[in-house]
Structure 1
């Protein structure tokens, strides 16, 4: 056994004896500042915009808090699966999707939301734009080291490279909005297809089909893990007992259930599931518009979306939730003493920017990101959500060959932790 392997083995045994490494001290100034900003912004949204927007802002905070505490990731889960066969993250996705599908089916069946009209899911067409966009997103999230939700909570927790990822995300979203008409209207596409409403299954029948699919996929992941014996995920710093709620890592499966419940609450409150990237397109388009470019002429901003260009971003529910996610992650990371911005390497900085652009552009083409298209689409019983996941996995596999070009490592079979 080499010296490096002996060191890794010793690290493995050390971690086994102490599965939850201790946390750093509270970063009290950060927590206080984050709490003050969070309360002030929340009060403004509640009093000056609407109570509904205020509730969505609070749900965004809860989402950011949960995402950080569990380090719940779509990006690394895809990467670990495609590189070494680690299935822990994918199994958490299956729990997430199963719980969300169950709750969504119930909500759609009773036809209830706080908007005054029935809830509607994310059901989008299946065409060239979806295939190209999801493949680009799969590559982009591996270069940017974070998906849409990951980018927001990493920014909130002080991961410096993801600031560039977010900037690239916004730029790519604007370009995608500009080209949206070509990809969606001019390229070949099949109509949107729902397992519930495009068939005679109904929501209960569609729910049964999806639960069966989740069970089959879970069984396959168990077979993969048994055959490949991949390295396990690294234990995260944590407290013990009730303190773990505020200052410790949460189990992935626990976080999966919480995220699914929060998405169901979003569906009830605003009448549509959780989404992220449309907010980036709005922020970037407003900036471009301020520079003198008439974005209102773009096909993407025609119809119902046009009003958002002239209104405050605080009236945009997706933007309000995005702000909440960043602040929730900031408070969570500071509570654990983990808000520590670092210098970044040039290669990683470039990869972050390129990855962000690819994700922003791809999300517009694919009718959403890992949250709106993958999570929200599958939970809404849309075929496009399943296809998004499969094609994004293909993009992830391609990105494994691109990451080393930027000085980024991939998990390997000799790792004790991914």
Structure 2
């Protein structure tokens, strides 16, 4: 065989880091760690760093639920959704037994469970619609903001607004028909819960594979590394499968450190509530903010809230990853209709996440990995809402079913 039989890959040129944003993000990560360790404790500072690792992983793999679901609906390509199912499966194998134990090394472990009812059904459908208009899910909004997207800053701002409105209305929604929180681990046992969860996730992956094969005659393969050697680790892109496994491991680490699985959107509601207080709105009199957990968070620094510090870490970690890849490029000129879609999508996601006890992370990923039945209801309702959102995207000049 000659060398001509094995042509060299056409690698991308070496990435040129964006030095200024790289230094800002790296400095902020170090300073944030030291500040949180000083003001709170080392555990909280470690969660901040864990958030940074999540942000870098999400950015380098472009690992978002929004795009993966849209590709399945529009292009009949399910590689993204299969990576999501694998991610949840890996986390579930570890988290269901850990949560059944209730604690580890003196750290209490609480599952991401919630009532199974109208609130979740309606909230998840609203969220699914909103994420297609907003252009990102809960985690997707954070890592794209970190990557420099000005449009996603609009989505995030209105996400926060919607989350605060959701806290005002949640007590009414909880009064609607509902079953209590149902944990598969408690109902059918740990082993059976793991097997049932893996079987259901596998079924979803199989359905996406069958649809894709029928539409294209093949399954889309993971692309080869775009850069030689190990340089792609710093500059990306990362393979979806590898990123999914890493995100699962980081969620397990979150459970062990924070005492609860990875969550995103409670932090948005908290930030909005604190801003509302500054503006003179007495959110502290609302029923939601008088429940023990929310009341404690509202009366404390945001740096004491595990969800908030991880969200800050995700933004900075994504910013550092984007800078190392030479892709930190804020885009200011965004069409009006696109901005309008971002605002509407943000409000819908914030409101829907609060009604349904989380987003694609807190309700879907962490919920199903905890063995919670509400995570499956969230998945079904959100996917239906997402389908409607894909249909509505062309109304705002965005690609959707009109994509060729």
Is TM > 0.5 for Structure 1 vs Structure 2?
yes
Query: Which of residues 199, 202, 210 in structure 2 aligns to 1:212?
Result: 199
Secondary structure at the aligned position of 1:85 is classed as coil
Partner Cα separation in structure 1 for residue 403 and residue 340 of structure 2: 27
- C-alpha deviations, 1:197-233, integer Å up to 9, x for none? 1x2x212210011112222222222211111118959
Which of the residues 289, 312, 318 maps onto 2:301?
Answer: 312
Take 1:266 and 1:337, find their aligned partners in 2: how far apart are those partners?
A: 29
For the pair 1:36 / 2:23, whether they are aligned, the reply is: no
- For residues 236-292 of structure 1, the C-alpha deviation after alignment (integer angstroms, 9 at most, x for no partner) is 984322221111211000000000000000001111000010000000001111122
Name the CA shift for 1:239/1:399 in 2 (closer, same or farther; >3 Å). same
Stretches of structure 2 that go unaligned for 5 or more consecutive residues are 1-6
Separation in structure 2 between the aligned mates of residue 213 and residue 84 of structure 1, nearest angstrom:
23
TM-score where L is the length of structure 1: 0.90
Residue aligning to 1:339: 328
- Residue 28 of structure 1, CA deviation: 1.7
Q: What SS class does the counterpart of residue 190 from structure 1 fall into?
A: strand
Q: Which stretch has the larger CA shift, 153-162 or 202-211?
A: 202-211
State the Cα distance separating 1:105 from its structure 2 match: 2.3
How many Å apart are 1:169 and its aligned residue?
A: 0.3
Alignment of 1:168-179 (within 5 A): 168-179=158-169
Does residue 1:396 correspond to 2:386, yes or no? yes
- How many matched pairs? 395
User: Are residues 51 and 400 of structure 1, via their aligned partners in 2, closer, same or farther at CA, if it must alter by over 3 Å?
Assistant: same
Q: Does 1:135 align with 2:122?
A: no
Q: Distance in 2 between matches of 1:234 and 1:182?
A: 46
2:20 is equivalent to residue 49 of structure 1? no
* Residue from 278, 281, 284 that aligns with 1:296: 284
* Partner of residue 192, structure 1: 181
Contact 1:80–1:411 (8 Å) recurs in 2 = no
Query: What displacement does 1:47 show?
Result: 1.6
Q: Is 2:263 aligned against 1:272?
A: no
* Residue 113 (structure 1) shift: 3.9
CA distance in 2, matches of 1:372, 1:67: 16
Equivalent residue of 1:391, what SS?
A: helix
Q: Within 2, Cα distance between the matches of 1:295 and 1:113?
A: 36
Q: Provide closer, same or farther for how the CA distance between residues 182 and 67 of structure 1 changes in structure 2, counting only shifts above 3 A.
A: same
Matched, 1:284 2:272: yes
User: Aligned to 1:239, what secondary structure does the other structure show?
Assistant: coil
Task: Report the secondary structure of 1:245's partner residue.
Answer: helix
Q: Secondary structure at the match of 1:401?
A: helix
TM-score w.r.t. length of structure 2 = 0.93
Structure 1 equivalent of residue 135 of structure 2: 145
1:69 and 2:64 matched: no
Distance 1:287 1:251 in 2: 39
Instruction: Extract unaligned runs of 5+ from structure 1.
Output: 1-15
The answer to whether the 8 A contact 1:276-1:369 is kept is yes
**TM superposition shift of 1:138:** 0.3
> In the alignment, what sits opposite 1:221?
208
Give the Cα–Cα distance (whole angstroms) in 1 for the partners of residues 261 and 40 of structure 2: 20
Mark the CA change 1:17 to 1:277 in structure 2 (over 3 Å): closer, same or farther. Answer: farther
CA deviation vs aligned residue, 1:308-360 (integer Å, no higher than 9, x gap): 11211100110000000000000000000000011211111111111000000
Describe the SS at the equivalent of 1:351. helix
Please say if residues 282 and 309 of structure 1, whose CA atoms lie closer than 8 Å, have aligned partners that are also in contact: yes
Please show how residues 369-384 of structure 1 align to structure 2 within 5 Å: 369-384=359-374
Separation of aligned partners in 2, 1:346 and 1:412 = 19
The correspondence for 1:326, drawn from 298, 310, 315, is: 315
- Alignment CA distance shift 1:209-1:47 (3 Å): same
Q: How far apart are the structure 1 equivalents of 2:381 and 2:129?
A: 10
The superposition leaves residues 57-106 of structure 1 with CA deviations (integer Å, 9 ceiling, x where unpaired) of 01100000100010001001111112221111110011001101011023
